[in-house]
Amino acid sequence: MNPQEIIKAASTTHSEFILRNNSIIEIKLKKGIYFTIKESKEINQQIVTISNGIPRKILVESSKLNFCDQESRKWTTSKEVSDSIIALAILTKSLPQKLIANFIVNVQKPSVPMKVFTTKKEAETWLLSLN
């Protein structure tokens, strides 16, 4: 069985969701979206839906023009979000995104393992290494 085989897929106006048979949900953020709490809650709802309520490892792949507001960043590290996530890898495409993501990881201290990457391969390797 191919570990990259797609089990389920879904889409919203701002993101695409792919659940693979390696239990990673890949979320591709569409270009040019400024994420508020509304979009962040929609993403979390899609994670719960696509995973049938089973906590999963998440890989978020942003485009160069994606950013989020402060409320959304804080909510991302909340208990409500962590209930549906085992670990979160963030794939960034720009220095400002990397700085914001590292701020979330190092200052806001998410309750699930969270790490920032610049290559998809490194992000997937890290997620798959976690039990």
The tens digit of pLDDT for each residue in 61-96 reads: 987 666 777 888 777 777 777 888 999 998 987 776
In the chain, domain spans:
6-129
Helix (H, G, I), strand (E, B) or coil at 61: strand
Is 6-129 in CATH node 3.30.360.10? Answer: no
> Could you tell me which residues come within 8 angstroms of residue 54 by beta carbon, excluding any fewer than 6 positions away?
none
pLDDT of residue 65: 64
Q: How confident is the model at residue 52 (pLDDT cuts 50, 70, 90)?
A: very high
Q: Which helix (H) or strand (E) holds 35?
A: strand 34-35
- pTM to 2 decimals? 0.84
Reply yes or no on whether the pLDDT at 119 is more than 90: yes
Please report the pLDDT score of residue 32 as a whole number.
Answer: 81
At 126, which amino acid appears?
W
In the predicted model, what is the mean pLDDT of residues 89-107?
75
CA distance 39 to 37: 6
Q: 3-state DSSP call for residue 84?
A: coil
How is the beta sheet containing 56-61 ordered, strand by strand? 6-11, 15-20, 24-29, 56-61, 85-91, 114-117
pLDDT of residue 1: 55
pLDDT per residue as tens digits for the range 21-51: 988 999 998 888 888 889 989 999 999 999 9
